[in-house]
Amino acid sequence: MNKTELIDHISAKSDLSKADSARALDAFMDAVKTALQNDDTVTLVGFGSFSVSERAARSGRNPRTGETINIPAARVPRFRPGKALKDAIN
């Protein structure tokens, strides 16, 4: 499912226009992004949690040349599904 299909689904389930659904989805994504930039966690009970994780620096290999390269440390977004979401899939 891509963003357009998700907007169509939201529109059909919520009786909102596609434009309103698109604005709501954009607002949700912006809120999550802003919270993660501020080191907050976004928890949607039953769905899951969005958080930021620290990934340590490490060495890797360039697959083309076999040369060892250094991969710098990074902050990465992380999603942990909630129990209700896990149960719905299984």
- Find all residues with CB under 8 Å of 45, minimum gap 6, and list them: 82
pLDDT in tens, 12-69: 999 999 999 999 999 999 999 999 999 999 999 999 999 999 999 999 999 999 999 9
Domain ranges of the chain: 1-40
The strand pairing partners of 76, in sequence order, are 53
pLDDT value of position 48: 96
Element (H, E) at 9: helix 3-14
pLDDT in tens, 28-39: 999 999 999 999
| pTM of the predicted structure, to 2 decimals | 0.81
Token readout for 72 is 């710098």
Distance CA 70, CA 66 (A): 13
